Amino acid sequence: MDLSLGPHYEEFRARVRGFLDAHAATAPRGILNLRAPETLAWQKTLIENGYAGRTIPREYGGYGAPADILEMRIIAEEFASAQIPQGLAGQGITMLIPTLLEFGTEAQREQFIAPTLRGELIWCQGYSEPNAGSDLASLKTHAVLDGDEWVINGQKIWTSTAHLADWMFCLVRTEPDKPKHEGISFLLLPMSTPGIEVRPLVTMTGDASFNEVFFTDVRVPAGQIIGRRGDGWKVANTLLGHERGMLGNPNLTLQRFNALVELMREETLDGSRLIDNPVWRERLMQIQGRMMALRANDLRLLSARANGATAPLAAMVVKLQGTELRHDLEGLAIDALGELGVLYRGSPLLRDSGYWQQHHMYFLGLIIGGGTSQIQKNIIAERGLGMPREPRAAGR
C-alpha cells in the first residue's frame, strides 16, 4: 500500500498548477455560459493544453493523450481547488463523443466530434419518458421508416438543456414487434427540425434546468442512426457505462464540507458560535466520518482502475452513498441556520446566495435521477450480492 503518486505525477501536478497560476487572472469563473465567446476561447485554450478533450484523438480535434486516470484526477483536483472551470462538460462531450468513438461511422465522427468538443455544437439527451423512467427500456416514442427518413412521434422528459441544444441524441422504438430491449434504436436529430416542441420544466429549486420535448411527425434522414436498427439499448448502455464511470470529484464534497465548517464558525445562536454547541458539532462530525469513508472508497476505486483491477461492489455504492451524503450535508447547514436556513433567493439576510437550500433540493433530484436510490439498491442486491432478480410482471 502506497498512496504517494511518485515523481511523474507530482511533476504533472506541478505543470497543471503552473497552467492555472498563469491563467488565474484571465480564466472565466463560475458556471460557463454556453456559446459565449469567452467560453469558446477558454475551451480552445484548455484543449490546446490538454485539459479538455484530453484523450480524444487529434484527428477529431482532441489533445490525443493516452488515457490515464490519475492524470485525469489530478487535473480535476487542481481545477477544483483553484475554482476555475475545467471546460464544458455537457452530455455531448461526456456521453456522445465516447459513444461516437466506439460506435459511430467515420463520417459521423468527422461531422460531430470536433465541433462538439469546441463547444459549438450543444447536445441534449432524449432518453426518459413520462412512463419510462426507472424502466427506461419500456419507452414508447417511436420512429417509422418512410422512404429514406425516420418519422418520429412521442414525448421525452427530464431533457436537460433541450431549450439550448442544437442537436439531440435519443432512443426511440423502431422495432415494435421485438422484445423491448431489442426494439430500440439510437438516433441523432437537429433540434430545429419541424415538429419538435420544447417546454421548460421548472423544478423545486425554481430553475428550469429540464424540459419536456414533444415530437409530432419529426422527419430525420435514415442515416442519422448510431449502430444498427435495434442496437440502441446496447449503444445506450455503453453510454450509461461512461456516465457511471464518472466517479464524481470527491473534492467538491470536501469543499462543501469546509464551507459548512466555516458557516458553523461564523454563525451564532444566542450569541454563541454554532461550532461551540456540542449538538451541532456532533452532527458535523457524523457527516465528516461518512465523508471520510467515501473518500477512502474513492481512493480504492481510483487505485483499482489505475492498476487494472476492479472493485465492483465498491463502485456500485458510489451513487447511492454519495448523493445521500451531499443531501444530508446541505441539509445540516439548513438546520444549523434555523429560520435563516429557509430564506431563499432575493431575500435580505440570505446566506451564501441560497446555495444550501438549492443544493439540498438539487441533490434530492440526483437521489432520484440517473437511477433512483431504490434502483441502486436493486442493482447492489442483484449484481453485487447475487440475490434473486425482481420477478417480471405478468405479460411483459
Partner 1 sequence: MDFGLSPDQVLLQDTLTRMLAEQAPLERVRRYAEQNEDRAGDVWDATVELGLSGLVIEEAYGGAGLGLVEAALAAETLGAHVAPVPFIATGVVVPLALQEGGSEAQRDRWLPRLASGACIAGLALSEHSGAREDARIISEQDRLSGRALFTLDHAADAYLVADTVGALYLVEADAAGLTRIDLTTVDRSRRTGELCFNKTPAERLAGSDAALTRRCLDRARVLLAADTLGAAQHMLNAAVDYAKQREQFGRVIGSFQAVKHMCAEMAAALEPCRAMVWYAAYALEALPDEAHLTACHTKAHLSEVGKSVARTATEVHGGMGFTDLLGLHYWFKRIGLNRQLLGSPERLRHEAALAQGLVDGIGET
Using the rule CB under 8 A, is 304 a contact of partner 1?
Answer: yes
Which residue, 237 or 374, is less far from partner 1 as judged by CB? Answer: 374
Using the rule CB under 8 A, is 388 a contact of partner 1?
Answer: yes
CA angle 341, 347, 350 (to 5 degrees): 40
As measured in angstroms, the least distance from the Cβ of 178 to partner 1 is 28
Which residue, 164 or 302, is less far from partner 1 as judged by CB? Answer: 302
Using the rule CB under 8 A, is 382 a contact of partner 1?
Answer: yes
Angle between helices 69-82 and 6-23 (to 10 degrees): 40
Q: Do residues 178 and 231 lie in contact, with contact meaning Cβ atoms separated by under 8 Å? A: no
Q: Do residues 291 and 253 lie in contact, with contact meaning Cβ atoms separated by under 8 Å? A: yes
Determine whether 153 is exposed, middle or buried from the number of CB atoms within 10 Å of its CB (0-12, 13-18, 19+): middle
Determine whether 341 is exposed, middle or buried from the number of CB atoms within 10 Å of its CB (0-12, 13-18, 19+): middle
Using the rule CB under 8 A, is 118 a contact of partner 1?
Answer: no
Amino acid letter, residue 59: E
Contact with partner 1 (CB under 8 A) among 307, 349, 392, 393: 307
Interacting stretch for partner 1, rule CB under 8 A, among 36-44, 174-182, 363-371, 384-392? 384-392
Using the rule CB under 8 A, is 308 a contact of partner 1?
Answer: no
Using the rule CB under 8 A, is 15 a contact of partner 1?
Answer: no
Of the candidates 241, 252, 250, 179, the one whose C-alpha atom is nearest the C-alpha of residue 371 is 241
Of residues 259-278, those binding partner 1 (CB under 8 A): 261, 275-276, 278
Q: Say how many C-beta atoms besides its own lie within 10 A of residue 63's C-beta.
A: 18
As measured in angstroms, the least distance from the Cβ of 377 to partner 1 is 4
Using the rule CB under 8 A, is 34 a contact of partner 1?
Answer: no
Q: State the Cα–Cα distance between residues 269 and 188, nearest whole angstrom.
A: 56
Interacting stretch for partner 1, rule CB under 8 A, among 100-108, 117-125, 298-306, 361-369? 298-306
Between strands 123-126 and 167-173, the pairing is parallel
Per annotation, catalytic residue among 48, 71, 243, 282 = 243
Q: State the Cα–Cα distance between residues 350 and 395, nearest whole angstrom.
A: 54
Contact with partner 1 (CB under 8 A) among 16, 136, 171, 320: 320
Q: Do residues 198 and 211 lie in contact, with contact meaning Cβ atoms separated by under 8 Å? A: yes
324 is catalytic: no
The contact set with partner 1 (CB under 8 A) reads 1-6, 9, 70, 261, 275-276, 278, 281-282, 284-286, 288-290, 292-294, 296-297, 299-300, 302-304, 306-307, 309, 311, 313-314, 316-317, 320-321, 374, 376-378, 380-382, 384-391
